[in-house]
Amino acid sequence: MSTFDITDHAHRRLNILTGEWVLVSPHRSKRPWQGKTEEAAKSEGVSYDPNCFLCPGNTRINGEVNPDYKDVFVFQNDFGALQADVPAGGIDEDDLFIAESEQGICRVICFSPDHSQQLGSMPIEGIVKVVKEWKAQYKELGSMDFINHVQIFENKGEIMGCSNPHPHGQIWAQKNIPNEVEKESRNQLAYYEKTGRSMLADYLAKELEKQERIIYENDHFVALVPFWAVWPFEAMIVSKRHLTNIMELTEAEEEGYADCLKTLAAKYDKVFDCPFPYSAGIHQAPTDGKDYPEWHLHMHFYPPLLRSATVKKFMVGYEMMAGPQRDITAEGAAKILREL
Catalytic residues: 168
Sign of CA dihedral 206, 292, 155, 310: positive
CA distance 150 to 148: 7
3-state secondary structure of 124: helix
Three-class DSSP labels, the chain = CCCCCCCCCCEEEEECCCCEEEEECHHHHHCCCCCCCCCCCCCCCCCCCCCCCCCCCCECCCCCECCCCCCCEEEECCCCCCCCCCCCCEEEECCCEEEECCCEEEEEEECCCCCCCCCCCCCHHHHHHHHHHHHHHHHHHHCCCCCCEEEEEEEECHHHCCCCCCCEEEEEEECCCCHHHHHHHHHHHHHHHHHCCCHHHHHHHHHHHHCCCEEEECCCEEEECCCCCCCCCCEEEEECCCCCCHHHCCHHHHHHHHHHHHHHHHHHHHHCCCCCCEEEEEECCCCCCCCCCCCCCEEEEECCECCCCCCECCCCCHHHHCCCEECCCHHHHHHHHHHC
3-state secondary structure of 145: coil
